[in-house]
Structure 1
Amino acid sequence: MDSDKVVRAMARWWQTVSQEDTDVTSHNPMLYDPLQDGIVKTSKTRQYLAALVVCLGAVAAGTALAWTSPVLPQLSYSNTTTANATHSLVNATTVSNATHTWVSSLLAIGAFLGALPTGYIADAIGRRYTALAMDVPFILAWLSISFANSAGWLYFGRFLIGISTGSFCVVAPMYISEIAETSIRGSLGTLFQLLLTMGILFVYIVGSLVSWTTLSMLCLLVPILLFFGMLMLPETPVYLLKKGRRADAALSLKWLWGRYCDSRSAIQVIQNDLDQTSADASFLDLFSNRGARNGLVISMLLMFFQQFSGINAVIFYTESIFESAGSSLSASISSIIVGIVQVIMTLTSSLLIERAGRKILLLFSSTVMTICLAILGAYFDMKESGKEVSHIGWLPLLCMVLFIITFSVGYGPIPWLMMGELFMPDVRATAVALTVMVNWLCVFVVTKCFGFMITDWGSDMTFWFFAGCMALATIYVALALVETKGKTSSEIQTWLSGR
C-alpha cells in the first residue's frame, strides 16, 4: 500500500511539473490534474457565477435603457416642484421636448462610440480589466445624473452611460464565450439578455414607486456591485493562452471548471484553436478570411433583424394596445407586465437553448413575430379607416403578448449568444465590437425613424414593414444557418469556411 502511495505521489508531482516547466507558477498544486485517480469531473457552479457577475453589466445596461420610461414623464410635470427637492436642481418646467430627445438618443450614440475601442482594449489588457475599466463610466454617469443641476449634466451622464453600455455589450458576451464549457455555452450565452431584461424590469417597478433621483441612486448600486464582483473573477483562459501564459490559463480553468477538471486537455483544445489562427490578426483579416467574414455577416444580420423586428414599436404601443383591449391598467402597470413577460420567457430560452438549439428557436421566433406584426398592421388599418374594432380589442393584446414571448425566446438572446460563438480568438474582439456597433446603429435608426414612419406611413404600414423584415429573417435563417449547438469552435469554423 505504501508503495502505491509513493507511485501516486510521484505521478502527481511529475504531472504538475511537466505542465509548464519554465513557468515559476507551474508548481502550484492547483495545477494537478487527477487523471490517474479516475475522478476527473467539471463543476459548472463557478462558470455560472462568473457569467452572472460579468452580466451585472447587462443589468446596468438594462437600467440605463429603461430609465427614460418612468423618468421623462416626471421631468415633464408642469409645476414648480423639482423632481426631488433634496438632491436635484433640475426644475421640471425647464425640460423641453428637445431635451427629452437628446436624453433618449445620447445613450445610443455613446454605445455606438464605446463599442469599437472596447475590442482593442480587451485584446490589449484582457477581458477582466476591460470590464473593470468600462464599469467606471457607469458609476460616474449615475452620479452625474443623480446630482444633475442642469440639462447639461443629464446629457453628460446619458452619454457616459451609453459608452459603458456599448462596452459591456462587447466584453460580457466575449468573456462568457471564453470561459464556458461547450455543454453549457448556450445557457450561459443567454444570460446577457436575461439580466438585461431584469434591469429593465427593475426600473419599471422601482421607477413607478420613487422619484427619479432616488431611482438613479439605486441604479448606481449595480455597477458598484459589478466592480467588486469582477475583482474576484479570473481572466479568461483564452486570453491568457494568447499571451503565452499557459500556467495562468490552467489556473483560470481550475477556478472556473473545478479543481478536478482535466485542464491539460482543455488547454490543448484552446491552444489548437489558437494555432490555427494568426496571433496578431489585423482588421483586414476579418474580411480576407472566409470564415471570419461569413461569421461577421451572420452576426450583423442577426443584430439587424433583432432591431428591425419592431420590438421597440410594439413596446411603444403597449399602453394603447392595453386600452384597445378594454383594460384600465395604467402605463406603468402595463410596462411592468411586459417586463415580467420578457424576463420569464428569456429565462425559458436559457433552459431551452441547449435542447432545442439556436436555429429552431430563431425560426420559431421570426415566424410567429411575422404573423403577430401582420395582424397588428391589419388591426390598425381597420381602426384608422374608421371600422368598428372594439369587439376584437383582445386580438392586438394577444398578438403583443405572443410577439414579446417569441422575441424573448429567440431574437432577443440568441444574436448575443451566437456573436460570441462564430469567431476565432484572433479576431473575436474586433468582430464582436463591429457587430455591437451595427446593433446600436440599428437602435438609433429605428428609434429616430419610428416617429417619421408612424406620421408618414401610418401605424398599419409601419407594422407591415417590420413584418416584412421578420419574413426575410425567417427565410435567411432557414437557408443560411446551420445549428451550432454542441459544436466546438473548430467545427463552427469548418462550416463558416465552407470546408
Structure 2
Amino acid sequence: MSPASLDHMEQMRIEQSQPFVSQEEIREGEEEEGEGENSIAKIIDLSAVAITTAKERRKSQKVAKEEEAKWMIKEAERKGLIAQSITNAVVIVLVTSCGMPIGYSAVLLPQLQSTNSTLPTDDEWASWIASVHSIATPIGAILAGPMMDNWGRRLTLQLSLIPVIFGWLSMSVWPNHFLLLTGRVLGGFSVGMGLGTSQVLVSEISEPNLRGFFMSTPGAAYALGILLVYALGSRLHWRVVASLGLVLPTVATLALLFLPESPVWLVNQNRANDARRSLLWLRGGHEAKVNQELHMLIGHSKTEKDKEEALRQETRDVTCAPVPRWWHIMTRPQVFKPFFILLTFCLLQILTGSYVAIFYGVTLIASASNTPSQEYNCLQIAVMTALVRFVVSIITSWCLLRHGRRRIGLISGVGTALATSCLVAFLYYKSLPGVTPLPNQRDTGIIAALIMIYVAMNTFGIFSLPCLMIGEVLPSNVRGSVRGVMHSLINLMIFTTTKLYLRWRPSWANRCVHGLHNSVAHHNVLHLPVSAGNQEQAADADRGILCRRKELFLAEPG
C-alpha cells in the first residue's frame, strides 16, 4: 500500500478511537465556557465593588471618628466652660458678700444718728464705725498670702468667710457700739483675706481665652454687694440688714466644699495626681489639653522654685534676718520703682473721694444738698449711685479687655475732674449772699446728677485700675509679699480719709473736700504716665513717673 493510504487509514483509526461529540454538546460547551467567563468577570466586578466599599467604609469610619472627636472636644469645652463658670459664680457670690460690709456704714450711720434711733451715736462714734473696717483689712490681706501658699486657695477662702459671718451675727443680735465696731473689724478682716485670694483662684482655674472675662467679674460683684446693701438699707432696719448679710457668706462657704482646689497650688505642693483630677473637672475631661497644661504647670513651678532659690542665695550674703532681707528685696530697682508708682496712684485715687463716696454715701448726699440723711430722696439717690457704680463696673470690665489702661484712666480723670468742678461751683454759688435759692427738688436733683456723674467717671478708671496695676506691674516672684505691704498702706490711707471726713462735714468744709477731690482729679489727668515705648518715656522717667519695666500696665494693646 502506498504511504498516502497508510496515513489515511491511521487518521481514520484515530478519529474512530475518539468519542463522538454532537453539535448540541459543542454548543453546550461553548455556553459553559461563556458562563465561566461571565462568572470570572462577575467575581472581578464583585471584588472591585468590595474593595471600593471597604475603602468607602474605612473613609466613612475615619470621618465618623473625626466627627466624634470634634464632638467630644466641643463637649469637653462645653463642660469645661460650665465648670469654670460654676467656680466663677461661687467667687462672685463670695466677692458680693465682701462688698456688703464696705457699703453697710453708708446705710447704718443715718439710722444710728436719726432722732428716733435706738442706739444714739455721735460723730466720733460714727467716724470709728465707718473707718475701723479699713484697719482690719490689711491684716487679713497680709495673712492671706502665707495661708494661700500653705493651706490652699479654697480653704483660705472658706476661712475668710467665717469672721464676716460672726461679724454680721454680732451686729444683728447684740446692738451696742462695741459690738458694732467688733462686727466691722471682723468684716474688714474677711474682706482683706477674701478679695485677693478670690482673684488668685479665678486666675489659676481659668483658661487663657476666658481669664480676661472672669478676672473682670470680681469688680462688678464688689459693686453689686454695695448696691445690695444700699437697697436693703433704704427699706429695712439696720439690724435686719445685718441678719440678711449672713446669707451670702454662708452660701459661699457651703458651695466651696464642692469645688476643686487650684491645680497651680496642687502642683506647687508636688501633688500632680490631684492637680490632674482638678484639671480634668475644670477642662471637661479633655485629656490632651489636661496633659499639656499639667506639663506646663510642672515646668513653671520648677522655674519659680529655681527663682526663689536664686533669690535666697542672693540675699544670704546680706543676712538671714527677715527685716534686712525684706529691705534688700524692696530696694531692688525692679521692685521699688513700680511699688512707688502704685502707691502714688492709689493715694491719688483715695484723695479723689472714691471710698468716702462708698462709706458715707447717704451722708455725703445729705451734706451736699443740706437735707436730713433719713429723707427718702437721699436714700433713693444713694441707691442710684450704687446702681450706677455697678453698671459702670460691668462697662469697665468690657473696656479693659479692648482698650489700654492709659486711655481709660484719662477718660476717668477728665470726667471726675469735670463733675467735681461743677459740684464745687454749684455749692459755692448756692452759698453766695443774695442768690435766690432754687426749689428744693431741683436743687437736690442737680446735686444728685453731678454726684452720679462723679461716681460713674470715678468708677470707670480711677477706682478700677489700682487692683489691676498690682497684678501687672509688680514682679511675680515677690508679688505676694509686696502686695501685702501695698494693701496695708492703702488701707491705712483709706482709714485716715474716712475717719476725718465727718469733721469736714459743715457746708464750707464740704466745699473744700469736693475741691480737694477736684484738684486731685485734675492732677491725675495732667500727670498720668504715658504708654511704655512712647517718645516721652525718658522725660517722664526723670520725673519718677514711669518705670523701666516693659510690661507696665500703661501700655496700649498691640
Pair in the same fold by TM > 0.5: yes
Q: 1:299-324 CA distances to partner (integer Å, 9 max, x unpaired)?
A: 43443333222124554532455679
Distance 1:110 1:382, change over 3 A: same
Pair 1:186-2:216 in alignment: no
Gaps of 5+ in 2: 1-53, 63-68, 312-324, 535-547, 554-558
| Counterpart position of 1:459 | 510
Distance 1:71 1:401, change over 3 A: closer
| RMSD, matched Cα | 3.7
- Judge conservation of contact 2:266–2:275 (CA < 8 Å) in 1: yes
Partner Cα distance (2:272, 2:337) in 1: 30
Give the C-alpha shift of residue 482 in structure 1: 8.1
Correspondence for 1:65 among 96, 102, 110: 102
The amino acid of 2:352's aligned partner reads S
Distance 1:252 1:362, change over 3 A: farther
| Counterpart position of 1:354 | 401
Pair 1:334-2:361 in alignment: no
Q: Which moved more, 1:300-309 or 1:456-465?
A: 456-465
Give the C-alpha shift of residue 216 in structure 1: 1.0
Pair 1:307-2:350 in alignment: yes
Correspondence for 1:51 among 77, 88, 93: 88
The amino acid of 1:355's aligned partner reads R
Q: Which moved more, 1:383-392 or 1:58-67?
A: 383-392
| Counterpart position of 1:345 | 392
Give the C-alpha shift of residue 164 in structure 1: 0.8
Partner Cα distance (1:153, 1:172) in 2: 28
Distance 1:173 1:302, change over 3 A: farther
Partner Cα distance (2:298, 2:327) in 1: 23
| Counterpart position of 2:289 | 262
SS of 1:262's equivalent in the other structure is helix
The amino acid of 1:304's aligned partner reads L
| Counterpart position of 1:318 | 365
Q: Which moved more, 1:234-243 or 1:209-218?
A: 234-243
Pair 1:252-2:252 in alignment: no
Partner Cα distance (1:271, 1:387) in 2: 75
Correspondence for 1:233 among 251, 259, 263: 259
| Counterpart position of 1:26 | none
- Judge conservation of contact 1:188–1:350 (CA < 8 Å) in 2: no
- Judge conservation of contact 2:136–2:189 (CA < 8 Å) in 1: yes
Q: Which moved more, 1:117-126 or 1:40-49?
A: 40-49
Give TM-score scaled by structure 1 length. 0.78
- Judge conservation of contact 2:130–2:498 (CA < 8 Å) in 1: no
- Judge conservation of contact 1:193–1:412 (CA < 8 Å) in 2: no
Distance 1:423 1:268, change over 3 A: farther
SS of 1:330's equivalent in the other structure is helix
- Aligned pairs for 1:63-462 (under 5 A) are 63-79=100-116, 91-93=118-120, 95-260=121-286, 262-271=289-298, 273-274=300-301, 275=303, 278-279=307-308, 283-284=326-327, 286-314=329-357, 315=361, 316-319=363-366, 330-386=377-433, 388=435, 393=443, 396-423=447-474, 425-453=476-504, 458-462=509-513
Gaps of 5+ in 1: 9-33, 84-90, 484-491
Partner Cα distance (1:439, 1:151) in 2: 26
Give the C-alpha shift of residue 129 in structure 1: 1.3
Partner Cα distance (1:360, 1:295) in 2: 19
SS of 2:402's equivalent in the other structure is helix
Partner Cα distance (2:105, 2:474) in 1: 35
Partner Cα distance (2:468, 2:106) in 1: 27
Partner Cα distance (1:299, 1:258) in 2: 39
SS of 1:278's equivalent in the other structure is helix
Give the C-alpha shift of residue 73 in structure 1: 3.1
- Judge conservation of contact 1:305–1:469 (CA < 8 Å) in 2: yes
SS of 2:274's equivalent in the other structure is helix
Partner Cα distance (1:370, 1:203) in 2: 28
- Judge conservation of contact 1:192–1:413 (CA < 8 Å) in 2: no
Q: 1:29-76 CA distances to partner (integer Å, 9 max, x unpaired)?
A: xxxxx89x9778584443333233224332222211222222233334
The amino acid of 1:335's aligned partner reads A
Distance 1:203 1:92, change over 3 A: same
Distance 1:152 1:310, change over 3 A: closer
- Judge conservation of contact 1:237–1:249 (CA < 8 Å) in 2: yes
The amino acid of 2:405's aligned partner reads R
Partner Cα distance (2:294, 2:349) in 1: 35
Give the C-alpha shift of residue 185 in structure 1: 3.2
Give the C-alpha shift of residue 343 in structure 1: 1.1
- Judge conservation of contact 2:99–2:224 (CA < 8 Å) in 1: yes
Give TM-score scaled by structure 2 length. 0.70
- Judge conservation of contact 2:473–2:551 (CA < 8 Å) in 1: no
The amino acid of 2:129's aligned partner reads V
The amino acid of 2:119's aligned partner reads A
Distance 1:429 1:253, change over 3 A: farther
